[in-house]
Structure 1
């Protein structure tokens, strides 16, 4: 009876939280804890405060800024809106910058999931979003599209300015990925989940003819694919094997959030199956193992069937109630010098926040920063490099401070 009650609670939480990992954890069989080799060091004296105390957002999943020369910050709300706030004035209300709620399929892990401003946004007004839709004649699918602001200082954007770059089918409602960010090379990177269900039943992550379970890289200024192009140095450009040319790396399960550091390294938090969460430093053409492996543990398949598998830089088990990694950012601000060059990430379920310090090739030490910060769905940075956390359930934007 207790198990049934706990299962019912977890199912309810999974259905409302935006992430289904809780449900998969409830269904998992008990297994011996996985041994994690990264060392743990002493906590740092940091905490979080409410960055916008008078505001509450609807399931926030991103906090970011545009290269527009202002103090404006943008909050991505999963149901289908982008809110505009001023970082310095802390106004009592937030402006709705874009509302596409009517065309977004929202629920569980679906919704408006990614936002990236063009490097030349101040001149062209372009920004890009990643969302799911279904119904009204559409199958369940991910949409990557561009919108245009009338000026860099505009406070509202007309939804009719949308131009769809491309779409791809989602066989199940979960594992949609959703990360969307311009890299230092000027190309747009997009993280995609393996298509959902459990255990990647279609083996999408290892299938390079599919866009699912991948890190994609496209040229938004190109036209060879219609409304976008393929960077000439993408790993599968011109291949004769039917591999998708948009693919930058593969073998990922649900790389919900990723970021670049000042060295240009691509950091990804990849959500695990039933046992292990992982953090990867992703390189071009790399195979990160899913579903052959869950982090370093064998899962299903043959390691000799594709490219050599690349180990995560860090992994952690579910043994202590940490069940769903939220990828973060490398700290490059000034207010917390003790965190400089450390990768700050979290667990959505436990609310724990850590700092990872690289110590060599795929090696790192890890330290707990905060035992419970909230239901952290995403991280963000302001123009000064200070770090923010999105509390998904409470609708708050939190700032990391001393």
Structure 2
């Protein structure tokens, strides 16, 4: 496999303007063969997850784009889409309305990069057929209602800027070391910080310890997650997940050679010499490496069951949430639809202290549903997820996962071990054709029960949220016992009682900051919030935004 070429991701969320003129643009775009090949490489490595030349995907069909839109407009939009939106540019506003998410800007791309990409795009001459209407709108006609509940936010801390442009810091997780008050948080570009008296102190620089680590292109790359062993205070063990370029080392799990490896996700076990030290010093070992076909949908979660006590069957077992790696969008549906035989699109559970795993560096827990079964992946506890970015337990011990959908449906799933959750042939309670248009969903077949698919506990359509992120259960106040979660791009906030029968009711809640009601977008002064949640040892819940690298404490009284 060739190493992935790492430059800033250019995921062109462009939209064709419906203008009456038949003018053709792009006459100035170079047709030099070498430049086209460079552009093709850039596109395949950094854009094909979101776009193709046959149909709309996460972003629009790009076939014929350069012949219908001014070249300079395309370049400027790639570099700074926020500027176009703020200027009320018609195309940019149509984009936002249609695809429900704002593309991040890429100001560091050179003119040569942009010219090469445009040269490649210009080789696709066919203009896309107009799609009349949205084929997947109003699948869930009931709209989420506002509860009227407003909770105060209090500024708590800010991570140092790890880049010069937004997002300033890329935190995804903040939790306390088990049995202590020590509050740990990651920056995907750097490593782990401890918040000491609300000030960040660098505990472990993963980027220095692992020189091959990359956090570009953005999204969920870099240090994606971490988890401290429940007995860290005595054994000094904790775990991180980070990304490296494809082909950096031999992987433990991969896929067909017909699909290139863009990057690899690596699980590392770290052992601190002194668990009470403020800066890590100790040893480390790699325990798992997995190939990923894109920058998307990789290893978003590492966690231990916080309710498990010593002597319980899953005490000390590491849970891993792993997505489809973008393989479904690349039309390799079988990599996800593996019937328990593969590890992609799955929630995994491994024993870091064991030796009978695929590479001898971890163990397969005997309690796993497929442990010891021929032609099954013993690491799996459930499968059929596009992007299980949070794995968590409710107050009664039930395991759940949030799952980011494709074009239409976001999910919260209650996990039953050994079960299939539908992706890539289901999105929510709808059928999807993984070899057709991802924008089109269909009713379930009459004989659906025979497939044994488990459907979401909660499903939300993309007119409510476009990228779900799970939070935590609020311990007291007007949302006592409710699970709070949100929409990553917009920062819209939701809650539900996960134990409510027959089905949890979802409502929205809001925030008050410095005496005034505000949205998360106004709070961070940006259309893209990049919302995440955190929790401390006393179960206080926090809201975090990558945009400014700030952390806010939710006040419940």
Same fold (TM over 0.5): yes
Cα 1:54–1:249, aligned 2, differ >3 Å: closer, same or farther? closer
Give yes or no for the alignment of 1:256 onto 2:383: no
TM-score, with structure 2 as normaliser: 0.63
- Aligned counterpart for 1:105 among listed residues 210, 214, 220: 214
- State the SS of the aligned residue for 2:294: coil
How many angstroms apart in 2 are the aligned matches of 1:111 and 1:28?
40
Map 1:325-340 onto structure 2 (within 5 A). Answer: 325-331=468-474, 333=475, 336-340=476-480
Runs of 5+ consecutive residues of structure 2 not aligned to the other structure:
1-16, 18-88, 108-130, 162-167, 250-260, 309-313, 435-444, 512-518, 522-528
Map 1:98-247 onto structure 2 (within 5 A). Answer: 98-101=204-207, 102-107=211-216, 108=218, 109-134=220-245, 137-138=248-249, 140-158=263-281, 161-183=283-305, 184=308, 185-186=314-315, 187-196=317-326, 199=329, 201-203=331-333, 204-207=335-338, 208-225=340-357, 226-240=360-374, 242-247=375-380
Residue 19 of structure 1 is matched in structure 2 by: none
Residue 73 of structure 1 is matched in structure 2 by: 183
CA shift, 1:269, in A, is: 1.2
How many angstroms apart in 2 are the aligned matches of 1:201 and 1:83?
39
Give yes or no for the alignment of 1:90 onto 2:234: no
Contact 2:532/2:543 (<8 A) preserved: yes
How many angstroms apart in 1 are the aligned matches of 2:400 and 2:421?
12
Residue 291 of structure 1 is matched in structure 2 by: 424
Residues 27-59 of structure 1, C-alpha deviation per residue, up to 9 Å, x if partnerless? 998232221658646232313222126866721
CA shift, 1:209, in A, is: 2.3
CA shift, 1:324, in A, is: 0.6
Residue 373 of structure 1 is matched in structure 2 by: 520
Residue 21 of structure 1 is matched in structure 2 by: none
Contact 2:146/2:509 (<8 A) preserved: no
Cα 1:8–1:30, aligned 2, differ >3 Å: closer, same or farther? closer
Q: Which has the higher contact order (CA 8 A, sep 6+)?
A: 1
Greater strand fraction, Structure 1 or Structure 2: 1
Contact 1:38/1:363 (<8 A) preserved: no
Paired residues in the alignment total 381
Residues 170-204 of structure 1, C-alpha deviation per residue, up to 9 Å, x if partnerless? 01221114111001332211000111155462223
- State the SS of the aligned residue for 1:338: helix
Map 1:308-347 onto structure 2 (within 5 A). Answer: 308-320=452-464, 322-331=465-474, 333=475, 336-347=476-487
How many angstroms apart in 1 are the aligned matches of 2:94 and 2:278?
44
Structure 1's consecutive aligned runs of 4 or more residues displaced over 3 angstroms after TM superposition are 1-12, 36-41, 53-57, 135-139, 197-200, 301-307, 358-362
Residues 80-129 of structure 1, C-alpha deviation per residue, up to 9 Å, x if partnerless? 3111112xx234xx211111223322122211111000111000110011
- State the SS of the aligned residue for 1:309: coil
TM-score, with structure 1 as normaliser: 0.86
